[in-house]
């Protein structure tokens, strides 16, 4: 599977994603500069975290209207896979590729911590190697991660299983205390109707090697590659 | 033509920033403060033949970038004088 990692001025997780794709899951990967209008030959585009264009006006607002995002819109319309993490999630919402918006954390603090996420939908290319209700541990690092969406849209999203990850306790209970940023219904990650565009505030790329303290993020990459077998073990390369 | 855009969080959306500023003001003795919400002001100088055309152009800017309809409402008014930078 060929990956492209988009780089805006102010992106900071591009190298981490590039490293995981090339050195951990051993797939071809290239950087895509924000001025590009042609993504080239890729199967999955990654929008990493950071502070694109300084996050001026609103987080992801300017990036959401940049030339490369127009190309990503076309790519997504043709069924291409798009993964946005942290600022990448904010950009996908600002671009209208995902419903809702991300606001200032309710606690007003920048939150940089480990979180537990319960998986609500495993019928996606990004989560198909997971069990329903499985709990993953991944870090968050953001000041604007409080997910908001209008009630009508939320009901539609629920019906179409577009809510993929929710903040939970270590044993998978979705509680107020487990919500680090005040997100509506503890939402941490959502996808589009077609299941091809996923955005999440946590950082899977920062939990993809045991040396950094966890490998649950790797499960998303492994799901994408179809390398997981039914019993939860990885296929040997 | 100089135009001022006021971007505010839509009614019913919790304004955590405003709540923090309100708490600070109450702490400073403004116990009569009943409600406070923080918004954004964007001042624009646009090349347009008349007020209506300027407002229409700025409305397009709001739809395209300046406001996020999921969270925010906006109002547009023309202003006199030089924009202070």
Q: Where are the domains of chain B?
A: 2-78
What does the block give as tokens for B60?
A: 């397009």
CB contact under 8 A, A104 and B17: yes
Reference A65, options A86, A39, A34, A30; nearest CA is A34
With beta carbons under 8 A apart, name residues in chain A contacting B39.
Answer: none
Q: B2-78: what fold?
A: Mth169; Chain: A , (3.30.1280)
DSSP state for residue A121 in the 8-state scheme: -
Q: Collect all residues with Cβ–Cβ distance below 8 Å to A101 and sequence separation of at least 6.
A: A93, A94, A147, A148, A149, B68, B70, B71
Reference A45, options A98, A7, A11, A95; nearest CA is A7
pLDDT for A147: 98
Choose, out of A103, A153, A154, the residue to mutate when testing the contact with B (most B CBs < 10 Å): A103
pLDDT at A232 over 50: no
Q: Taking a contact as any Cβ pair under 8 Å apart, which residues of chain B between 9 and 48 contact chain A? A: 13-14, 16-17, 20
Please give the C-alpha separations between residue B52 and each of A55, A85, B2, B12, B55, in angstroms, as whole numbers: 31, 41, 12, 31, 5
How far separated are the first and last CA of chain B, in Å rounded?
A: 16
Taking 3-state DSSP, the helix, strand and coil percentages for chain A, each rounded to the nearest 5, stand at 25, 25, 45
d(Cα A87, Cα A90) in Å, to the nearest integer?
5
d(Cα A203, Cα A199) in Å, to the nearest integer?
10
pLDDT for B69: 95
pLDDT at A128 over 60: yes
A65 backbone dihedrals φ, ψ, rounded to 5°: -115, 20
With beta carbons under 8 A apart, name residues in chain A contacting B66.
Answer: 57
d(Cα A176, Cα A122) in Å, to the nearest integer?
24
Q: What is the pLDDT of residues A5-32, one digit of tens each?
A: 999 999 999 999 999 999 999 999 999 9
pLDDT for A126: 93
Q: Regarding beta strands A3-7 and A44-47, do their DSSP bridges make them parallel or antiparallel, or are they unpaired?
A: parallel
Touching check for B65 and chain A: CB below 8 Å?
Answer: yes
Reference A60, options A29, A30, A85, A32; nearest CA is A85
Spot the catalytic one: A44, A86, A94, A144.
A86
ipTM of this complex prediction, to 2 decimal places: 0.87
pLDDT at A236 over 80: no
Q: A3-225: what fold?
A: Rossmann fold (3.40.50)
pLDDT interval class at A220 (50, 70, 90): very high
CB pairs under 8 A between A and B: 34
pLDDT for A226: 77
pLDDT for A1: 87
A98 dihedral zone (left: phi>0; alpha: psi -120 to 50; beta): beta
- The SS3 call for residue B17 is helix
Touching check for B3 and chain A: CB below 8 Å?
Answer: no
One digit per residue, the tens of pLDDT, for chain B of length 85 reads 999 999 999 999 999 999 999 999 999 999 999 999 999 999 999 999 999 999 999 999 999 999 999 999 999 999 876 556 5
Q: Collect all residues with Cβ–Cβ distance below 8 Å to B52 and sequence separation of at least 6.
A: none
Domain boundaries, chain A: 3-225
Confirm whether A185 is a catalytic residue.
no
* Averaged pLDDT for residues A151-164: 97
The overall pTM is greater than 0.90: yes
CB contact under 8 A, B71 and A148: yes
Which helix H or strand E contains A221, and what residues bound it? helix A218-225
- The SS3 call for residue A107 is coil
**Closest CA–CA distance from residue A107 to any residue of chain B (Å):** 8
pLDDT for B82: 59
Beginning with the edge strand found earlier in the chain, give each strand of the sheet holding B72-78 in spatial order: B40-45, B2-9, B72-78
Identify whether the C-beta of residue A164 lies closer than 8 Å to the C-beta of residue A119. yes
- Range scoring the smallest mean pLDDT among A147-151, A174-178, A187-191, A224-228: A224-228
Identify whether the C-beta of residue A183 lies closer than 8 Å to the C-beta of residue A147. yes
Confirm whether A205 is a catalytic residue.
yes
A23 backbone dihedrals φ, ψ, rounded to 5°: -100, -20
**Closest CA–CA distance from residue B24 to any residue of chain A (Å):** 14
């Amino acid at each position: 599977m060929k990956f492209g990692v988009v780089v805006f001025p102010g992106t900071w997780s591009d190298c981490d994603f590039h490293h995981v794709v090339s050195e951990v899951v051993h797939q071809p990967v290239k950087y895509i500069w924000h001025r590009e209008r042609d993504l080239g030959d890729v199967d999955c585009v990654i929008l990493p975290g950071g502070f694109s264009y300084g996050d001026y006006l609103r987080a992801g607002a300017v990036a959401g209207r940049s030339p490369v995002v127009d190309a990503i819109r076309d790519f997504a319309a043709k069924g291409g896979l798009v993964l946005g993490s942290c600022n990448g999630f904010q950009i996908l919402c600002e671009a209208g590729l995902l419903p809702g918006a991300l606001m200032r954390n309710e606690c007003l603090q920048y939150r940089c911590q480990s979180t537990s996420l319960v998986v609500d939908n495993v019928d996606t290319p990004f989560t198909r190697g997971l069990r329903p209700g499985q709990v993953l541990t991944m870090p968050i690092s953001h000041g604007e991660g409080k997910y908001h969406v209008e009630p009508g849209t939320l009901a539609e999203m629920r019906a179409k299983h577009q809510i993929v990850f929710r903040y939970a306790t270590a044993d998978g209970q979705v509680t107020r205390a487990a919500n680090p940023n005040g997100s509506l219904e503890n939402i941490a990650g959502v996808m589009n109707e077609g299941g091809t565009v996923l955005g999440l505030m946590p950082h899977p790329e920062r939990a993809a090697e045991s040396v950094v303290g966890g490998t649950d993020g790797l499960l998303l990459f492994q799901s994408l590659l179809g390398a997981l077998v039914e019993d939860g073990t990885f296929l040997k390369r | 033509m100089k135009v001022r855009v006021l971007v505010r969080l839509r009614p019913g959306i919790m304004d955590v920033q405003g709540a923090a500023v309100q708490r600070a003001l109450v702490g400073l003795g403004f116990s009569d403060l009943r409600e406070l919400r923080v918004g954004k002001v964007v001042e624009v100088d646009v090349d347009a033949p008349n007020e209506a055309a300027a407002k229409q152009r700025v409305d397009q800017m709001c739809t395209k970038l300046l406001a996020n309809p999921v969270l925010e409402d906006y109002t547009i008014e023309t202003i006199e004088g030089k924009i202070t930078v």
